[in-house]
Structure 1
Amino acid sequence: MSPFAPGPVTVEVPATSANLGPGFDCLGLALDLHDTLVGEVVDSGLVVELEGEGADRLPRDERHLVVRAMRRAFEALSVEPPGLVLRAVNRIPQSRGLGSSSAAIVGGLALARALVVDGAEALDDAAVLRLATALEGHPDNVAPALHGGFVVCGHDGADTWAVNAPVAPDVSAVAFVPPDGVSTEMARGLLPAEVPHAVAAANTGRAALLVAALGGATDQLFRATEDFLHQEFRAPAMPESLALVHSLRSDGLAALVSGAGPTVLVLTDGDPEALLGRCPDGWVAHRLAVDHAGVRTVVS
């Protein structure tokens, strides 16, 4: 009897915004913009078909991040498919700070376990989070892609954790996406090795306040999204993004750099439509609700 479930199988995985200002490497939010992955186990070979964001430059072989994640999940499940077909429709902008790589990792892991009989029992969400964090390097994007909603997370060696925190129903976001991306490695390379104790303490206070602000104290969103640890240090890599953050915050809007940038995200409990006019020329604005489902298998 084959260990593989009949295909094709379809999963959808959301975009994410990590850090959210002060929550460096520990806070993440899932957003209602999804990549769709369709996978099937076949007799031989590997076929990768792509459309949408990055389709003209992403690899179509074993180097593709979804395929790498699938292989890792199959290895954890002690199975090896004779052949694979992957079809990906990418809607999450690539290298823009909206979790495209985390979506690929979480989506690939979820797709692989759905293609294995009883895969969800053998590879539960806790195991998927550990594998995804090992592949990504930190959990603040992969955890909300997996669980949905607003997630407080972290890891210390093999110990990885993620806890969902409440989000007030009137909270939504607007993402301003620039035409060019910034690599996470470049953005991280601009960060100092140390910061003063007072700066770390101030940032901790803002991150704690953000949990309360998103959970219902939405009048505190502006104060709670003030960052002291990373955004200003990254300005040389994304000066237009930081200029937009400053402009929006000067008007009392809860603006921040999404993830490692360069997308700028505004959290709001008001009408997001009113923010769309602040989009710079050549950028693209997305009105985004919070995604509470996380990665999911689509039943046709």
Structure 2
Amino acid sequence: MTEAPIPSVRVKVPGTTANLGPGFDTLGMALDIYNFVELSETSQGVTVEVEGEGASSIPRNESNIVLKVVRQVYQQAGKNPTGLHLKLINEIPVARGLGSSAAALVGGAVAANELCGNFLSDQEILEIVTEFEGHPDNVAPALFGGVVVSAQVTTSKGKEVVSRKIPPPYGMRAIVAIPEFHLATKKARGALPKEVPHRDAVFNVSRTSMVIMAIIHNDWDLLGKVMEDRLHQPYRMSLIPGMADVFEAARKAGALAAVLSGAGPTLIAFSRENTGGIAQAMEDAFAAHGVKCITKELKPCPMGAKVI
């Protein structure tokens, strides 16, 4: 008698860059760098494997946060597997501001939902993962792809995550300079003030609105003018040596704009198809401050998490 195959699934999830300058905790864009999550139901017990980025530091037991989100999905689907095998294959650098945790969590949730017969909607997955992650700016583009505008709102039914996807500008390139040091999101958030001047809030509202308009209309000139921020980047500058100089070097080398990717420490410059010497300029500027980094040229990813 032939044994039934063990249910298993593999999910590919893009990395993300959050904020896009002024859109703090609101804007995010998927990038073509990926994490993979493999999930199998087993006869008993729980095992966790990790390969690639962060392999030496990611827990391989019940404290693993991806395993926790997997269990949450099973619980909401009303299922209780006898055992699970979780494998994380990470290409996205950990704690560098490229959405590694959001990608892993989204991958785990999508994989678990697939094994549950797609019991949950995309919206329910978005809500679950945002609860774990704390905010949707990385989660939504990892799940849906493209550029996503998100907000956490309160309705008569309670809190809800609202998100809308827009296509990224055609021909955009994202040059990332990834420093060799980690920067925990908690530390980066701890650098922010509890209150900001009214004029700075207005500054960011206007720039965020214009960034969205520039992306919708593929308006490169406008995009280069409005990726400015006063709510988070100035306060995090002391955590990343040479940040201002790297921004300046990227722009002098031809970048439209350069911003902090998420909470950092990765810095990201945006350009049209011809990137010229932007990556080298960013690397040299970091080196002048004693910071080693690696650079990558990435593209926006129009597709989000996908079962493969």
TM-score (norm. length: structure 2) = 0.90
Distance 1:103 1:123, change over 3 A: same
What secondary structure sits across from 1:10 in the alignment?
Answer: strand
Take 2:251 and 2:223, find their aligned partners in 1: how far apart are those partners? 11
1:296 aligns with 2:297: no
1:268 aligns with 2:271: yes
What whole-Å deviation, never above 9, does each CA across 1:127-174 have from its counterpart, x for those lacking one?
Answer: 011111111111000000000000000103512111012322111211
Q: Counterparts of 1:139-150 in structure 2 under 5 Å? A: 139-150=136-147
Assess if the C-alpha contact under 8 Å between 1:231 and 1:242 holds in 2: no
1:127 aligns with 2:127: no
Take 1:272 and 1:40, find their aligned partners in 2: how far apart are those partners? 42
> 1:155 is matched with which residue: 146, 152, 162?
152
- Counterpart of 2:140, as a letter, is A
In the other structure, the counterpart of 2:224 is: 222
Take 2:61 and 2:245, find their aligned partners in 1: how far apart are those partners? 39
Assess if the C-alpha contact under 8 Å between 1:273 and 1:287 holds in 2: no
Take 1:284 and 1:47, find their aligned partners in 2: how far apart are those partners? 33
- Counterpart of 1:75, as a letter, is Q
Q: Counterparts of 1:151-230 in structure 2 under 5 Å? A: 151-157=148-154, 158-215=159-216, 216-230=218-232
Residue 5 of structure 1, CA deviation:
9.2
Assess if the C-alpha contact under 8 Å between 1:232 and 1:242 holds in 2: no
Assess if the C-alpha contact under 8 Å between 2:36 and 2:104 holds in 1: no
What secondary structure sits across from 2:24 in the alignment?
Answer: strand
1:27 aligns with 2:27: yes
> 1:256 is matched with which residue: 255, 259, 264?
259
The alignment covers a number of residue pairs equal to 292
In the other structure, the counterpart of 1:243 is: 245
What secondary structure sits across from 2:170 in the alignment?
Answer: coil
What secondary structure sits across from 1:75 in the alignment?
Answer: helix
What secondary structure sits across from 2:242 in the alignment?
Answer: helix
Structure 1 unpaired stretches of 5+: none
Residue 213 of structure 1, CA deviation:
1.9
What secondary structure sits across from 1:23 in the alignment?
Answer: coil
Taking only aligned residues, the RMSD between alpha carbons, in angstroms, comes to 1.7
TM-score (norm. length: structure 1) = 0.93
Give percent identity, aligned residues only.
37
Q: Counterparts of 1:80-99 in structure 2 under 5 Å? A: 80-99=80-99
Distance 1:243 1:71, change over 3 A: farther
Structure 2 unpaired stretches of 5+: none
Assess if the C-alpha contact under 8 Å between 2:88 and 2:104 holds in 1: no
Take 1:7 and 1:50, find their aligned partners in 2: how far apart are those partners? 20
In the other structure, the counterpart of 2:73 is: 73
